[in-house]
A and B are shown apart, each in its own frame.
Chain A
Amino acid sequence: MAYLIFGHLLIPLRIKGSSMEPTYHNGGVNFCWTLGYLFSRPVRHDVVLVRLAGKRVVLMKRVVAVEGEGVAFRDGKLFVNGSMVNEPYVRYPCNWNLGPRRVKNGYIYVVGDNRSMYMEDHSFGQTPIERIAGVPLW
């Protein structure tokens, strides 16, 4: 039973890195709730866990746009379909500039909350929905 729960449903996580500061801290613990999108799909502002080759190592990012939407950054502000999006979870100054691009069908666009680092040093972008391993439990 413990194997079923903690091996497949509520997978323990230890957070490494600062890309989701100040929302989630380096060294923090959480669980990946793998059934978070059993009956729904990710929407803007959701925090999701993106799997790589498996579920043992995942990327924690926030959804900023969904399929079909246009995404851009101008002077650190997020624009979706030409309109600026209010992001209260972004607390550190940001000066990113990224030209508009469309989110492909079946994809979502994810970015970390910590945008104080150089844009080139931050992993973000669109990823297939199938790569979403789950959501953090808190």
Chain B
Amino acid sequence: MKVRYLIIALLLVISGVVVLVYVLQSEEHKIKRRFTSLAKWASKEEGENNLTMVQKTRSIGSLCAKTCYIKAPGTTFSGTYSSQQISALAARARLPFTSLSLRFDDLHIEVTGQQGATVRVTAQLLGTQKRGERVDDTRELECRLHKAEGKWLFTHFALIEVLER
């Protein structure tokens, strides 16, 4: 009798582990992790040293495909960039800030076929500039990713104009 309950409990645990592994390995979850990584590496704490800065900006570049298109109307950032250029762009964008945090909410992920995905997301940027000014900006983004060698890489970032002046 006790052995039977033990076997049932073991089967339940194994099923749970299998479900968890499946969920964790789902494409949507992998894509969400890319956004989590992007948010982590875009962030900046006060007193960040140059080594950390280089590591973080290189990591941001590694999230992007060989070419990545940025569409940001009203800014000088629009254009097509290599992943190395993305790293340099990230470094330049982070430079004026003493502290910075990036957060992604309301991710709507649509996986198209085996290798493509489109994500609509709300991005919130909070930071303090070196001259003391606080920045608090919330935007909607449309991002596209492509799966290459098992990794999801960003190929496209577009700022969505929610309010058209």
Contacts and interface: CB of A to CB of B under 8 A. Distances in A.
Interface string A24-64: 00000000000000000000000000101111110101000
Interface string B130-165: 000000101111000000000000000000111111
Interface in B75-132: 105-108, 120-122, 124
Interface residues of B, number: 19
A110 B162 CA distance: 11
A100 interface: no
A127 to B, nearest CB: 5
A123 interface: yes
Interface residues of A, number: 20
A110 B105 CA distance: 23
B164 A56 contact: no
Chain B facing A: main interface SS:
strand
A21 B2 CA distance: 66
A53 B108 CA distance: 7
Contacts of A50: 162-163
A126 B106 CA distance: 22
A30 B108 CA distance: 25
Given A17-B136, A53-B140, A57-B122, A125 B105 contact: no
Interface string A44-88: 000000101111110101000000000000000000000000000
Interface in A92-111: 98, 101, 110
Contacts of A59: 138, 162-163
A56 B163 contact: no
Contact of A16 (B107, B136, B163): B136
Contact of A125 (B108, B120, B160, B164): B164
Given A17-B136, A56-B105, A126 B163 contact: yes
A126 B163 CA distance: 5
B163 A54 contact: no
A55 B121 CA distance: 11
Contact of B165 (A53, A61, A124): A124
28 contacts: A16-B136, A50-B163, A52-B122, A52-B160, A52-B162, A53-B105, A53-B120, A53-B141, A54-B105, A54-B122, A55-B106, A56-B122, A57-B106, A57-B122, A59-B138, A59-B162, A98-B165, A101-B165, A124-B163, A124-B165, A125-B161, A125-B163, A125-B164, A126-B163, A127-B162, A127-B163, A127-B164, A131-B162
Given A16-B136, A50-B162, 5 more contacts: A52-B122, A61-B163, A123-B163, A125-B165, A131-B162
Interface of B: 105-108, 120-122, 124, 136, 138-141, 160-165
